[in-house]
Chain A
Amino acid sequence: MMALNGTPAADTPLLEVRTLSVAYGRKAVALNAVNLTVPKAGVVALLGANGAGKTTLIRTVSGLIRLHNGAITGGEVLLEGKSIAGLSADRIVRLGMGQVPEGRLVFKNLTVEENLQVGGAILPRATLAERLDAVYDLFPRLAERKDQAAGLMSGGEQQMLALGRALAASPRVLLIDELSLGLAPLIVGAIYQQLKKIREHFGTALLIVEQNARLALGICDYAYVLERGEIVLAGPAELVAASERMHESYLGARAERQAAAG
């Protein structure tokens, strides 16, 4: 791994992945000795191309890897210094890990409000009501559509709902997988603006998984680049954005050059 200058905050990090290795089935290694740290209230991006292992990392951190016939073959996952590697997914959620899954996965037959209520069901009733108000403040569009079935909303609205639903549980860290997938650039831009606000309003740490490196680098403090299951580059957002390797493979320099040559 090529480490660029600067590391995230030094005290116990919120989420820490240590030399984590994961395999599907017998030998399909998907992650190899991955190290990754999300500091309190930090915004961290995990970048990489198709099949790099980003979703695998998220699944492992959230306790869902066994469901997909995968297993941890080495290393640790720590939430505030405590190992969460063997815990069930619902336990991990209760410990403060919020999920915005790949493909949004809103509850289509439930109303917008019900989606949020289910998202916040781990909170006591009184706290939940306040929390929902805060979510509605952040996403006024959701408030307008409270009683609509979630399946009838547009893709962008469903993505907002998936975010709001995860936020409803007052998580300490949000895992956001491929938020931009299948959405128009304009909408993606708007939702990324909301992500900034999430940190400001709620102090929630974010682990943002993205193929679209430019987008994620625009809002994160720190970025990791995953290639074929290994971290090949890590550092503060500006340094990663400026790095040669990043330009070559992800920020389109090569593509631009090819277009110019061709």
Chain B
Amino acid sequence: MSIFIEQFLQALTSGIQLGCIYGLMCVGLAFIFGIMGVINFAQADFMMVGMYLVLAIVGSLLASSFLGPVAPFLAAFLIAPLMFAIGYLLHRWLIVRTTGLRIANQIEAHQAQLILTLGVALILQNGALILLGSAPASIISPLSYSAWEIPLLFDDFSALFINKARTYDAIICVAVTLALYWLIRSTRVGKSLRASADNPTAAIYMGIDVDRAHRIAFGLGTAIAGVAGGLIVLYYPVQPLVGFDFLIIMYAGVVLGGLGSLIGAFWGGFVIALVQQLATLVLPLQLQNATVFIVFLLVLLLRPQGFFGRHVERA
């Protein structure tokens, strides 16, 4: 009995820690979809890019000897502006051709966006395969090995181990999500982004450069993917096709949360991680992802608009 409680608490802890990272992953995807209506198939591969970038920074001995155990966390932040620039320019050169008001037929536009972002994903995957090879790589921080040990009260030898690296990861993910939420809710830029999403025509009438708003949104979404990747690389080895492992989780999380809602997307990712980790208690590891989908389908059956889905319109 006590063994089971210990295992349960341990799985719950990993679920919460991983949940915050999944949450941030989903937030990035939901953000791009919410602002520009684009389903970005390259989102998971931007994560892969972020993972490799952090690997490169930390791998250069200089950084880790200077910064010690926190190097990977700092690196994840360092790459954010770079990832933003990548997303921003990618939108300016490519994505913009399939979005915005100039596109007369929005349905055809969606097809074009799909194919375009899928193309970007393939280029990133295969580019990484050519440049970096298919062997998985990983980094570790000394913090990956250390944990807080919390004794459990019911006997003398049971204890809960809370991994330090994963805890810092989780805290950063929550902080980034809250920062983005604040940006979109309360700042001028955020309001003009929301206005562009709400009614692009009216946004132009108000003097907002909607294409620029979309560039910013795409850049931010890309940066978030990069940061999430940069953080998860501490406990997930990276290889060029690692995006596939995250892709499904991201889509399921965003749909669970109610399309377009940031906080909803976070909870969507969070719940998926929780289910995944708790399922390991009772089911073989191979069925981990199956349980995710069962929960996903159940939620969609009972609440098709997702946890947070809503629409403001007069009845």
Contacts and interface: CB of A to CB of B under 8 A. Distances in A.
Interface of A: 62, 64, 67, 69, 88-90, 93-94, 99, 101, 105-110, 114-115, 117-119, 121-122, 149-154, 165-166, 169
Given A89-B205, A114-B194, A121-B192, 20 more contacts: A64-B204, A89-B207, A93-B205, A99-B206, A101-B202, A101-B205, A106-B199, A107-B194, A107-B195, A109-B194, A110-B195, A115-B195, A118-B191, A118-B206, A118-B208, A150-B312, A151-B312, A151-B314, A154-B314, A169-B206
B149 interface: no
B108 interface: no
Contacts of B312: 108-109, 149-152
Interface magnitude class on chain B:
20 to 34
B191 A122 contact: no
A28 to B, nearest CB: 15
A169 B205 contact: no
**Ranked 5 nearest A-B pairs via Cβ:** A93-B207, A105-B202, A151-B312, A99-B205, A107-B198
Contacts of A110: 191, 194-195, 198
Nearest to A97: B207
B313 A121 contact: no
B40 to A, nearest CB: 21
A62 B201 CA distance: 12
Contact of A114 (B191, B205, B207): B191
24 contacts: A62-B205, A64-B205, A67-B204, A89-B205, A90-B207, A90-B208, A90-B209, A94-B207, A101-B205, A105-B201, A106-B199, A107-B194, A107-B195, A107-B202, A108-B198, A109-B198, A110-B195, A118-B192, A118-B195, A121-B207, A151-B314, A152-B312, A152-B314, A166-B205
Given A118-B192, A121-B191, A152-B314, A108 B199 contact: yes
B208 A121 contact: yes
A154 B315 CA distance: 11
Nearest to B205: A99
B207 A122 contact: yes
Contacts of A106: 199, 202
Contacts of B313: 108, 151
Contacts of B192: 118, 121
A237 B246 CA distance: 67
Given A109-B312, A110-B198, A67 B101 contact: yes
Given A105-B201, A117-B191, A169 B207 contact: yes
Contacts of B197: 109
Interface in B125-165: none
Nearest to A151: B312
A106 to B, nearest CB: 7
Interface string B160-196: 0000000000000000000000000000100110110
A118 B194 CA distance: 10
Interface in B288-314: 312-314
Nearest to B188: A121
Given A101-B201, A107-B198, A67 B207 contact: no
A117 to B, nearest CB: 6
A90 B204 contact: yes
Contacts of A99: 205-206
Contacts of A151: 312-314
A117 B187 CA distance: 10
Contacts of B314: 151-154
